[in-house]
Amino acid sequence: MEDIAGYSDDQVGAAVRGLHEQARESLSRYVKLDPVIDGVEGTFTKPAVSDPAAVKFVGNVPAGKPSGGLLRHKGWRAGKIDLPPLNPKQDAAIIAPAEIEIE
Amino acid sequence: MKYVIGIDLGTTNSALAYAEIKPDADRFDAPDVRLMEIPQLVNPGEVRDEPLLPSSLYIPGQSDFPGGSLVLPWNPEPEFVTGRLAQKRGVENAGRLVTSAKSWLSHSGVDRTAPILPWNAPEGVRKVSPVDASAEYLKHLRQAWDAKMPDAPFTEQKVLVTVPASFDAVARELTLEAAKHAGFRDVALLEEPQAAFYAWIQRHQDWRERVKLGDLILVVDIGGGTTDFTLIAVTEQAGELALERMAVGEHILLGGDNMDLALARLVADQLAQKGTRIDAFQLHALWQNCRVAKEKLLAPGAKSKEQPVTILGKGTGLVGGTIKAAVTRDDVDHLLGEGFFPRVASSDLPQRQRRFGLQEIGLPYAADAAVTKHLAQFLRQQASSAEHERVRRGASGLAAPTHVLFNGGVLHARLIRDRLFEVLNAWLGEEGFSPVQPLVGEDLMHAVSRGAAYYGLALQGKGVRIRGGVPRTYYVGIESSMPAVPGIPAPLKALTVAPFGMEEGTSVAIPGREFGLIVGEPAEFRFFSSTVRKNDPPGALIEDLGDDLQELSPIEVNLTSEDDTGTVPVSFETVVTETGVLQLWCVARDGRRWKLEFNVRERVAQ
């Protein structure tokens, strides 16, 4: 993929504006994003679940299982995934087709 | 029949709304009109519901899409792609894309039943006619309905298809023909500005309290590709308020797409001045981005003076190749305010295009982009004696509306609505009238299909109907019997065959003219219409064909008769069917009848 180290912040910023718009639109169309913990970041929270994949404790974590702490990141969960069915005849390994312009 | 279905067959987008027919519904209850989401291909292999069906048709070649990726829920192997995917793919390969089929349908300079689209298709690409393309959109809607509503087959429902008020008799008949091709059965036509007004009535069941006798409502409908004006008068019938359509404008090929493209060209010019040239694809991307930027700048409460627009780089060098520009509020204000909606006097009429001998055939876009000038011309149209007391006019003869209803996505922009109010109110002020009142409609994108569904209910006796009739006067050309002068064609006169406002479901015999038609030989007549001459009664002969008359496709009849040879004397009879289609008949003295058909294949040279 393209190495963007050499471009000015201005140029990267302009491109990201377009990319983010398209990425957000696609993501919101196919995946419904829900927070793992529906709380206010920065407030004291007691998580209802204890699955380490869903809730991660950071900082001065005690030896035993902590009961709660400050919510730093709400987390994201795919609430609903709505992907279009894959055409069986189509090569799923193709992410983007090559483009050839005829002038 | 369980439902009435309203279809807005648009130049750039189509929509479908429906309402259930409830036999015992209270006539004062607001009917429940719903929109149907239209399943369509949005990417190869991905079918999704969308609120609109883009009126785009793509004619796929072998290398266009992977096998099996065009499957629709109702068709495993579609021949064409309609809707969003057609629109998307068409940007990349314009030679196989059909757009604006509706504008072609009303273009009398080409054969509208011949395969001529895509207009600039390369050699070897299959072509379709404007009628076929329209039929494909309608067929998609019919099949989408059947897929979604399996209990109520489409062909068993009442269907209303909308057409611009400015469509002439030929374009209306071709629209109906497209509907028949698409497998429609019970179908009638309705004018779009009327449909927009019906949508307003549907949302305002107390409309009788909002307008009063003598009021005049101007409907301004600016869609993606066309601009349409209509005047509706509030009249009285049997002691109740009634509505009557008094006038429609001429066909103006000018809409929101032209405005966005003009903005994109402006930005492209600014880029070119800085040394960045963009190609046709990039211009298209810029066009879409400019539309979004314009909407953001003109959104209610928007404070920003500038919106960035970017065109992402091609190829895998996405970031490095990105071009950025900005659309400023000043640019938008200037372009729309001065280019499309300038402040003009009510006597400023649009410039007529000069007709050159060698004119490139293609869509006849409006020569003058100033919508306000077209509006001035519309309001200055000749008064008819029939409307004499019902249309409020100023001292200069300008029709003076009391209310305005806007329709079409372009009019979301407050800047444009405000400018139209400003211009209109200035004109009214000069004539000594108070400013117009806005009739606030919602949902400018779907009002036409909603209104059409409501009208379908009105036809069942469940709502108010706008009386209108034929929005033009129609004439048949007759060569005058003068001695021939070499090199100069015999002067042509025009015989009025359908008076302005002739109502649906009526017929009229044209007095005083008989023609001898030869059996077995086709006879052709030139055919004209006028939106401005409103007082010519059936049978009236117009000596001087001025600019008021527009020539349509010729009409022809072929007398076949077993009994007769030689010449049969016939006279004309005009019929306007319940579906709103104009028919001309030749009637012999003994009552035998032959229908005159529009010949859209060739047009008489002007």
Is residue B483's pLDDT more than 70?
Answer: no
* pLDDT given at position B603: 47
Contacts of A91 in chain B (CB under 8 A): 66
Q: Do A1 and B316 touch (CB under 8 A)?
A: yes
Q: How far apart are CA B291 and CA B297, in angstroms?
A: 10
Chain A residues with CB inside 8 Å of B46's CB? 84
Lowest mean per-residue pLDDT among B23-37, B58-72, B281-295, B393-407: B23-37
CA dihedral B483, B487, B491, B497 (to 10 degrees): 110
Segments making up each domain of chain B, as ranges:
3-190, 473-598
- Please tell me the distance in Å from A7's CA to the nearest CA on chain B: 7
Could you tell me which residue, B199 or B566, shows the higher pLDDT?
Answer: B199
Q: What is the pTM of this model?
A: 0.85
Nearest residue of B to residue A91, measured between CA atoms: B66
- Positive or negative: CA dihedral B148, B154, B159, B164: positive
Crossing angle for the helix pair B130-148 and B169-181, to the nearest 10 degrees: 50
Which of B48, B282, B292, B322 best tests the A interface by mutation, with the highest count of A CBs <10 A? B322
- Residue B128 burial class via C-beta count within 10 angstroms: exposed 0-12, middle 13-18, buried 19 and up: buried
Query: Across chain A, how many H-helices and E-strands are there?
Result: 1, 4
Segment B249-279, tens digit of pLDDT = 888 888 888 888 899 999 999 999 988 888 8
Tokens of B209: 């309290």
pLDDT at position B604, please? 38
Closest residue in chain A to residue B322, using alpha carbons only: A15
Instruction: Tell me the domain boundaries of chain A.
Output: 9-81
Per-residue burial over B326-347, b if 16 or more Cβ lie within 10 Å, else e, is: ebbbebbeebbeebbbbebebe
Q: Which residues touch A56 (CB under 8 Å, ≥6 apart)?
A: none
Statement: residue B585 has pLDDT above 50:
yes
The amino acid at residue B572 is F
Mean of the pLDDT values across residues B367-387?
Answer: 79
Q: Helix axis angle, B256-273 relative to B280-298, nearest 10°?
A: 110
For B41, nearest residue in chain A (alpha carbons): A84
The pLDDT score that the predictor gives to residue B353 is: 57
**Which pLDDT belongs to residue B600?**
66
Query: Model confidence over B13-62: pLDDT tens digits?
Result: 999 999 998 877 666 667 789 999 999 999 988 999 999 999 999 999 98
Nearest C-alpha neighbor of B104 from the set B369, B365, B356 = B365
Q: B574: closest CA among B538, B527, B528?
A: B538
Closest CA to B599 of B181, B113, B105, B101: B113
Chain B environment of A84 (Cβ under 8 Å)? 43, 45-48
**Between B602 and B169, the higher pLDDT residue:** B169
Cα dihedral sign, B356-B552-B596-B601: positive
Q: Which of A15, A86, A91 sits opposite B318 (nearest CB)?
A: A15
Instruction: Give the confidence band of B357 by pLDDT, cuts at 50, 70, 90.
Output: very low
Q: Are B423 and B348 in contact (CB under 8 A)?
A: no
More confident position, B367 or B536: B536
* Residue A80 to chain B, least CA–CA distance (Å): 16
Do the chains contact at B68 and A90, CB–CB below 8 Å? yes
DSSP assignment letter at A39: S
Considering only CB atoms, which chain A residues are within 8 Å of B94?
none
pLDDT in tens, B321-336: 888 888 999 999 899 9
- The full DSSP string for B5-21 is EEEEE-SSEEEEEEEE-
In DSSP notation, B237-266 reads ETTEEEEEEEEE---B---HHHHHHHHHHH
Model pLDDT for residues B82-127, shown as the tens digit of each residue: 999 999 898 888 889 998 899 888 887 788 899 999 988 888 999 9
pLDDT per residue of chain A (103 residues) written in tens, 0 to 9: 888 888 888 888 888 888 888 899 888 889 999 999 998 999 999 888 888 889 999 988 888 888 889 999 999 999 889 888 777 777 888 888 888 888 7
**Closest to B319 (Cβ–Cβ): which among A11, A86, A87?**
A11
Pairwise pLDDT comparison (B233 vs B295), residue with the higher score: B233
pLDDT, position B532: 82
Report the distance separating Cα B415 and Cα B340, nearest Å.
12
Q: Which of A1, A87, A99 sits opposite B68 (nearest CB)?
A: A87
Residue B500: both structure tokens together = 């302005």
List CB contacts (< 8 A) between B311 and chain A: 18
Cβ of B310 within 8 Å of Cβ of A4? The answer is no
State the nearest Cα–Cα gap between B142 and chain A, in angstroms.
23
CA distance, residue B77 to nearest chain A CA (Å): 13
Separation in Å, CA of A33 to nearest CA in chain B: 20
Instruction: For domain B3-190, give the fold.
Output: Nucleotidyltransferase; domain 5 (3.30.420)
Minimal-distance CA residue of chain A relative to B280: A103
* Top-confidence residue, B581 or B133: B133
Unique residue bearing structure tokens 């001309």: B584
A7 contacts on B by Cβ (under 8 Å): 319-320
pLDDT value for B358? 41
Q: Is pLDDT above 90 for B448? A: yes
Choose between B2 and B480: higher pLDDT. Answer: B2
Nearest Cβ partner for B45 among A15, A18, A90: A90
